[in-house]
Structure 1
Amino acid sequence: MSATVIAALLVAVGIVGIVLPVLPGLVLVVAGIAVWAVTRGDAVAWTVLGVAVAIVVVGSVVKYLLPGKRLRESGVPGRTIAAGAVLGVIGFFVIPLVGLFLGFVLGVYLVELTRLGSHDRAWPSTRQALAAVGWSIAIELAAGLLAAAVWAGALVFA
C-alpha cells in the first residue's frame, strides 16, 4: 500500500473522528499528512505539512476559546460543563457513540436544574452549552477539512 493511500485513509478517519468524537480527529489528519510528507521528503511536502500543522494549531486554539467565551458570557458555570463532560465520558462507555452526546446533555441539564431550580431556567443554559459544543465541533471540522484541502491541493498541483 502506498504512503499516499495510507495518508488518505488516516485523513478520512480523522475527519470522521471529528464528527463522531471517538478518535483524535485532528491528530489523525496531521498524522496522515505527515506520513505523506515524510515519504515524499521534498520542500513541497514539508511546506504542506507545516501549513497543515499551523491550521490545526490555530483551529484547536479557536475551538476552545470561542465557545468557552460564549458560555462564560451566557452565565453557564465551568462546573456545569465539567459535569457534562464527566457524564459524557460515562455515557460513551454505557451507550457507544451516542452516549457521549446524551451523557453531556444530561450532565449539563442536571447540574443546571439543581443550580437554578426549574426546568424553565435550566433548559436555556443546557441549550447554550449544546450550542457551544456544536461550535467547537464545527471549528474543529473546518480546521481538519482545510488541512486536508491543503494536502489534496498539493496532491493535484504539485
Structure 2
Amino acid sequence: MTTTDVVVGLVILVGLVGIVVPVLPGSLLVLAAIGVWAALTSGATAWAVFGVAALLLVAGTVVKFLVPGRRLQVAGVPNSTLWAGGALGLVGFFVVPVVGLVLGFVLGVYLAELRRLGSEQAWPATRAAVLAVGLSILIELAAALLATATWVVGVILV
C-alpha cells in the first residue's frame, strides 16, 4: 500500500462522513479521490475501477432522488415543504453547531405542514419527510460504500 493509497483512502473516508453529515459533497469526494487514484496509478485496471465506481455513484444519485421522491408524493408532501425544511435546516446549521441542520430541517418541515394541513396532520407529514431524507442518505451511502469496496479491490489488484 502506497502513500497515495492512504491519502486517497482518507479522502474517501471524509467523503463517506460527508454523506452522513451533509456538510461536504460526499459522493463527489469519493469519486474525485478514486479518479485521482486512477490517474496516478494509471493502467486499464485502475481506470476500470474508476468507471465502475462512477457508475455506482451515478446510479446511487438517481435512485436517491427517485425512491424517496415517490414516497413523498404518495404521502402528499409537496416540494415547498422540503424547501422550507432545507432553509430552516441551513439556518439551524449555523445557529446550533452539529445538530442544528437536523433540528432546523425537522422544525421547518413541521412548521410548513402545520401551516398547510393543521396540527393533526402536520406530524405524520413531517415524519414521512424525515424518513424520506433518511432513506435518501442511506441510498447514497450504500452506493458510496460499494464504490469504496470497488476501489479497495482495485488497490489489491494493482
TM-score range, shorter chain: over 0.9
Partner of 2:145: 145
Moved over 4 A (4+): none
Residues 23-68 of structure 1, C-alpha deviations (whole Å, 9 max, x = no match): 1100111111112111111000000001101111110111111101
* 5+ residue gaps, structure 1: none
| Mapped partners of 2:56, 2:98: distance in 1 | 27
Partner of 1:103: 104
SS in 2 for 1:4: helix
Partner of 1:57: 58
* 5+ residue gaps, structure 2: none
| Mapped partners of 1:95, 1:61: distance in 2 | 31
Alignment of 1:11-26 (within 5 A): 11-26=12-27
**One-letter code of the match for 2:50?**
L
| Mapped partners of 1:95, 1:10: distance in 2 | 26
**One-letter code of the match for 1:126?**
T
Partner of 2:125: 125
Q: CA RMSD in A?
A: 1.1
Alignment of 1:4-83 (within 5 A): 4-83=5-84
**One-letter code of the match for 2:131?**
A
Residues 78-104 of structure 1, C-alpha deviations (whole Å, 9 max, x = no match): 111110011111111111221111110
| Mapped partners of 1:22, 1:111: distance in 2 | 23
| Mapped partners of 1:46, 1:157: distance in 2 | 12
